[in-house]
């Protein structure tokens, strides 16, 4: 901690010259701070031709969107770098490449993805990247399987659980996903017209019981090394390519949390599209989001089962049929965590462009209402949604 200092643009350029891996380090001459998230400084580093070459990211010792009144561990930079490095071992094609990181300065240098777009920004526009959903499913299958008990030796797995303990950022997730939306809390924010809808969440005993179970599993089920925050703002895309970034919430937890978070963000977009696009365009884009949801899950499940058949090293877990039975549990978790993502992004503090960019206030309120309703439905229905077809049917029934 004594070595830590908050980087300026000049510091970021100097650091990139040392660790950016460019052939001519002196060609790096300028930096632009582009961080628009809640936690970090992010610098694009440019060469003499004005081309962005690498990214320098530094963790701040507090939550950026709140300020120094909410302190936060700098160890999250290590956890992020090591999570991404670990994931890249198994899915390099879909994980941002870490070039260097320094735990003392809480800083890392990573590949520049300026030729990609943040997926959420294009989803909001109704754009579609063929193959992106399947690539996300592949990323989830490879990273979650290879860091699980199916393949990791028990001694290594236990050591890895310890290496990736992330109590402070897990506590943020625990509060924002499972606590705040279901109580009166100063962090919550939603249109006043939805007060009765939100109040109903606080008094629904069946719902709060289901949320308690999801939270308990988040606490207790160290199934695989999760990304921990795999939403459409943490994914870069271009034609034929998808890359996951921003894994500072990484820890060993239930697989369904990552899969559910990914599906949840596609469904937030589904709920927001009627306020973002003209009716015909919105209808077509909504159908595409449902297909994306299907493609993510089907790719994940099929690839996971293939990996389990080929690579499982534990003789008990390799018993024929067990991996498929295990995926039923992952599926139920996925549906439930998907629902909590919808609720927390609309009732809690972490709002997203899929709703914020809706210009018409009345329409925005109705889209948020739909998102809350769908989230609640999925949380309650999770144990009884048999498969992906049943999930799509539930979504259609909800509106």
Predicted local confidence at residue 36, as pLDDT? 67
- Model confidence pLDDT, tens digit, residues 306-345: 999 999 999 999 999 999 999 999 999 999 999 999 999 9
Cα separation, 338 vs 374, in Å, equals 10
Note the pLDDT tens digit of each residue in 230-287.
999 999 999 999 999 999 999 999 999 999 999 999 999 999 999 999 999 999 999 9
Mean pLDDT (the chain) is: 96
User: Rounded to two decimals, what is the model's pTM?
Assistant: 0.95
- Average pLDDT, integer, range 288-297: 98
The answer to whether the beta carbons of residues 143 and 228 sit under 8 Å apart is no
Residue 23 has pLDDT above 90, yes or no: yes
pLDDT higher than threshold 50 for residue 152: yes
- Given a cut of 50, whether residue 198 has pLDDT beyond it is yes
What is residue 173's predicted lDDT score, i.e. its pLDDT? 97
CB 183 within 8 A of CB 309: no
According to CATH, where is 3.90.1200.10 located in the chain? 117-398
Share of the chain above pLDDT 90, in %: 93
Query: Per-residue pLDDT averaged across 42-68, rounded?
Result: 88
DSSP per-residue codes, 141-169? HHHHHHTSTTTS-HHHHHHHHHHT--HHH
- CATH architecture for the domain at 9-111: 2-Layer Sandwich (3.30)
The count of C-alpha atoms lying within 13 angstroms of the C-alpha of 365, restricted to the half-sphere facing its C-beta, is 11
Q: Is the pLDDT of residue 38 over 80?
A: no
CB-based contacts of 157: which residues, under 8 Å, 6+ apart? 148, 149
- What is the SS3 string spanning 318-368? CCCCHHHHHHHHHHHHHHHHHHHHHHHHHHCCCCCHHHHCCCCHHHHHHHH
CATH 3.30.200.20 intervals, the chain: 9-111
Supply the pLDDT for residue 62: 80
- Could you tell me which of 27, 33, 32 has the C-alpha nearest to residue 48? 27
Nearest CA to 143 among 96, 83, 219, 98? 83
β-pairing, 40-47 with 28-33? antiparallel
Tens digits of residue pLDDT in 105-133: 999 999 999 999 999 999 999 999 999 99
pLDDT (0 to 100) of residue 1: 45
The percent of residues in the chain predicted with pLDDT above 70, rounded, is 97
CA-nearest of 261, 14, 288 to 126 is 288
DSSP helix/strand/coil, 38: coil
- For residues 135-156, average pLDDT: 98
* Other CB atoms within 10 A of residue 182 CB: 23
8-state DSSP, 95: B
Distances (CA, A) of 167 to 3, 163, 252, 253: 23, 12, 11, 12
End-to-end CA distance of the chain, in Å?
Answer: 51
Nearest to 122 by CA among 357, 334, 367: 357
Fold of the domain built from segment(s) 117-398: Aminoglycoside 3'-phosphotransferase; Chain: A, domain 2 (3.90.1200)
pLDDT of 35: 79
| pLDDT range class, residue 373, cuts 50, 70, 90 | very high
The Cα–Cα gap between 103 and 295 comes to 37
- Residue 65 scores a pLDDT above 70: no
Tell me the pLDDT band of 66, cut-offs 50, 70 and 90: low
Distance CA 372, CA 282 (A): 19
Q: Strands 241-244 and 235-238, how do they pair?
A: antiparallel
């Amino acid at each position: 901690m004594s070595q830590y200092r908050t980087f300026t643009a000049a510091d970021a350029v100097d650091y990139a010259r040392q660790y950016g891996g460019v052939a001519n380090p002196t060609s790096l001459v300028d930096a632009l701070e582009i961080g628009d998230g809640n936690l970090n400084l992010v610098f694009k580093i440019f060469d003499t031709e004005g081309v962005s070459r690498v990214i320098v990211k530094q963790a701040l010792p507090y939550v950026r969107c709140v300020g120094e009144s909410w302190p936060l561990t700098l160890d999250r930079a290590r956890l992020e770098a090591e999570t991404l490095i670990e994931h890249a071992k198994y899915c390099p094609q879909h994980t941002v490449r870490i070039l260097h990181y320094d735990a003392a300065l809480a800083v890392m240098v990573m590949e520049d993805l300026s030729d990609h777009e943040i997926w959420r920004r294009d989803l909001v526009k109704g754009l579609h990247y063929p193959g992106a959903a399947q690539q996300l499913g592949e990323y989830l299958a490879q990273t979650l399987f290879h860091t699980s008990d199916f393949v990791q030796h028990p001694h290594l797995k236990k050591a890895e659980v310890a290496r990736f303990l992330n109590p402070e950022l897990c506590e943020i997730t625990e509060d924002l996903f499972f606590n705040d939306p279901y109580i009166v809390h100063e962090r919550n924010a939603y249109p006043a017209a939805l007060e009765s809808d939100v109040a109903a969440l606080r008094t629904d005993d069946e719902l709060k019981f289901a949320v308690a179970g999801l939270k308990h599993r988040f606490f207790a089920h160290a199934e695989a090394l999760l990304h921990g925050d795999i939403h459409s703002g943490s994914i870069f895309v271009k034609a034929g390519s998808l890359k996951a970034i921003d894994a500072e919430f990484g820890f060993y937890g239930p697989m369904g949390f990552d899969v559910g978070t990914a599906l949840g963000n596609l469904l937030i977009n589904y709920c927001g599209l009627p306020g973002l696009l003209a009716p015909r365009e919105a209808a077509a884009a909504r159908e595409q989001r449902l297909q994306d949801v299907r493609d993510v899950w089907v790719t994940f499940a099929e690839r996971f089962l293939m990996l389990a058949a080929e690579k499982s090293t534990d003789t008990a877990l390799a018993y024929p049929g067990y991996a498929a039975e295990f995926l039923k549990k992952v599926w139920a978790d996925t549906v439930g965590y998907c629902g909590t993502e919808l609720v927390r992004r609309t009732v809690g503090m972490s709002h997203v462009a899929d709703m914020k960019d809706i210009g018409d206030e009345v329409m925005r309120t109705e889209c948020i209402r739909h998102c809350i309703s769908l989230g609640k439905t999925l949380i309650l229905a999770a144990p009884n949604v048999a498969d992906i077809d049943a999930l799509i049917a539930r979504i259609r029934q909800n509106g």
